[in-house]
Structure 1
């Protein structure tokens, strides 16, 4: 079989240089699909948006394993001096999705040269992870919704951990989260006659207090509410306010607790608004369920890492951030794991961040070892 010439570093740098926001990844998708075709594969495109899915069949019947990578970027101004820094002002790959995609393409190149012995490997390149939309759309697409999938794996690079260290956790790896925007509407009046209007000021304070106390109702699980924005009226000394906005982010390591928090929040907000004679508009944004690993699949990752001589770190608590690969893991058993980016590497979502090229080979080797476990060679 002809050797495939693929440079994952060069490919990642090209993706990094031309980042695209969630739901706008058309050029990135074309670039990934073109590379898959160069390998001799036939990718399905426009899956659940700009998603790309390709099957690599083994020589014999067997299980189906899906490997997933994301490829959207963030609305952040890049502050690096890289030769391949973002050419799109205000958009950058600040979470390493360029590296995730390049690593999965390296797996594709490897599998084209050494196909699995049995079963099928599905490679899924997913858009819109940052907004929590892409995975659910991909899973609901007719191409995947009826598939029987036995195993799902994905990784995320993790600053703060030594390079190449494999970070694992059975059960919940990453928390559920959602943004919530609460808008309270009363009636403005002249500041000299506030009693002639309906001010949301006190209700706004009550809502903020309620939000910060919400986790207290769930002491047996991790839960967190972070106030991220609040605004009362307009900056005008002559006007008593008639509107207020409070925005917050909810998190929990348990999906049942997470949904209970949302229900409790709605009930309390409505009660506060009714007492204050206000109308209320409540909206949810960027929802993620918790990423729950299968114990057996987590152990497959551990065994693969150890067989490669890689150090394994077991998390005591889930990551507080969210990852929408959770949608795959809610449908099919599998595991999300981390690969250390470096103990002093710039943090995710920072303008000085860049995916560490050194761990591309680690991701490729680990994915291939996992495939060998399920599919032979």
Structure 2
């Protein structure tokens, strides 16, 4: 078989230089698909937006394993001096999705050389992770929705952990979260006669207090509400306000608690608005369910890491951030794990962040060892 000459570091740098936001990853998708074609594979494109799905079949019947990587970027100005820094002003790969995609392509190159002995490996390149939309759309696409999938695996690079350290946790690995925007509508009036209007000021205060106290109702699980924005009226000394906006983010490590928080919030907001004779508009944004790992699949990752001589770190608590690979894990059993980027590496979503090239080989080796476990080589 002809040797495949693929440089995942160079590929990552090319992706990094031309980042694209969620739902706008057209060029990145074309670049990934072209590389898969160069390997001799036949990728399916346009799945769930700009998603790409490709199968690598073994010689014999067997299980089906899906490996997933994301490839969207963030609306952040890059502040690095890299030769391959973002060419798109105000957009950068600040979460390492360029590295996730490059690592999965390295796995594709390896599997083309030494295919699985049995079963099928599906490689899924997913768009729109940052907005919590891409995974659900990709899972609902006929390319995946009708498949029997036995195993799902994905990784995220993790600053703050020793480089190459494999970070694992059975059960919930990453929290559920959603943004909520609450808009209260009353009636403006002259500031000299506030009684002639309907001000949402007191109700806005009540909503903010209710939000901060919401987690107290769920002491047995982790839950958090973070107020992120509030605005009362317009900055005009002559006008008593008639509108107010409160925005917050809800999080929990338990999906049932998460949904109960949402229901409780809606009930309380409506009650507050009714008492103040206000109308209310409530909207949810960027929803993520919790990423829940199968204990058995988590152990597969642990065993694979140990067989490669990699240090394993067991999380005591879930990550507070969210990852929409949770949609895959809600449908099929599997595991999300982390690979340490370095204890002092710049944090995710920071303008000075860059995916560490050193862990590309670690990700490839671990994925390939997991594939060998399920499929033989």
TM range (shorter): over 0.9
Give the secondary-structure state (helix, strand or coil) at the position aligned to 2:373.
Answer: helix
Q: TM-score, normalised by structure 1?
A: 1.00
* CA distance in 2: counterparts of 1:51 and 1:264, whole angstroms: 35
* CA distance in 2: counterparts of 1:75 and 1:34, whole angstroms: 26
Give the match for residue 238 of structure 2. 238
Tell me the C-alpha RMSD between the 2 structures: 0.2
Q: CA deviation at 1:123?
A: 0.1
Q: Which ranges in structure 1 are unaligned for 5 or more consecutive residues?
A: none
* CA distance in 2: counterparts of 1:201 and 1:350, whole angstroms: 35
Q: CA deviation at 1:188?
A: 0.1
Q: CA deviation at 1:59?
A: 0.3
* CA distance in 1: counterparts of 2:14 and 2:48, whole angstroms: 24
Q: Deviations over 1:232-276 (max 9, x none)?
A: 000000000000000000000000000000000000000000000
Q: Which ranges in structure 2 are unaligned for 5 or more consecutive residues?
A: none
Q: Deviations over 1:173-194 (max 9, x none)?
A: 0000000000000000000000
Q: CA deviation at 1:205?
A: 0.1
* CA distance in 2: counterparts of 1:3 and 1:206, whole angstroms: 66
Q: CA deviation at 1:203?
A: 0.1
* CA distance in 1: counterparts of 2:203 and 2:356, whole angstroms: 47
Q: Deviations over 1:302-334 (max 9, x none)?
A: 000000000000000000000000000000000
* CA distance in 2: counterparts of 1:352 and 1:206, whole angstroms: 39
Q: Deviations over 1:54-83 (max 9, x none)?
A: 000000000000000000000000000000
Q: TM-score, normalised by structure 2?
A: 1.00
Q: CA deviation at 1:223?
A: 0.1
Q: CA deviation at 1:90?
A: 0.1
Q: Deviations over 1:330-350 (max 9, x none)?
A: 000000000000000000000
Q: CA deviation at 1:294?
A: 0.1
* CA distance in 1: counterparts of 2:200 and 2:338, whole angstroms: 45
Q: CA deviation at 1:209?
A: 0.1
Q: Deviations over 1:74-123 (max 9, x none)?
A: 00000000000000000000000000000000000000000000000000
* CA distance in 2: counterparts of 1:157 and 1:270, whole angstroms: 41
Give the secondary-structure state (helix, strand or coil) at the position aligned to 1:106.
Answer: helix
Give the secondary-structure state (helix, strand or coil) at the position aligned to 2:33.
Answer: helix
* CA distance in 2: counterparts of 1:141 and 1:11, whole angstroms: 27
Q: Deviations over 1:346-374 (max 9, x none)?
A: 00000000000000000000000000000
Q: Deviations over 1:187-232 (max 9, x none)?
A: 0000000000000000000000000000000000000000000000
* CA distance in 2: counterparts of 1:95 and 1:143, whole angstroms: 27
* CA distance in 1: counterparts of 2:199 and 2:54, whole angstroms: 56
Give the secondary-structure state (helix, strand or coil) at the position aligned to 1:76.
Answer: coil
Q: Deviations over 1:102-154 (max 9, x none)?
A: 00000000000000000000000000000000000000001110100000000
Q: CA deviation at 1:44?
A: 0.2
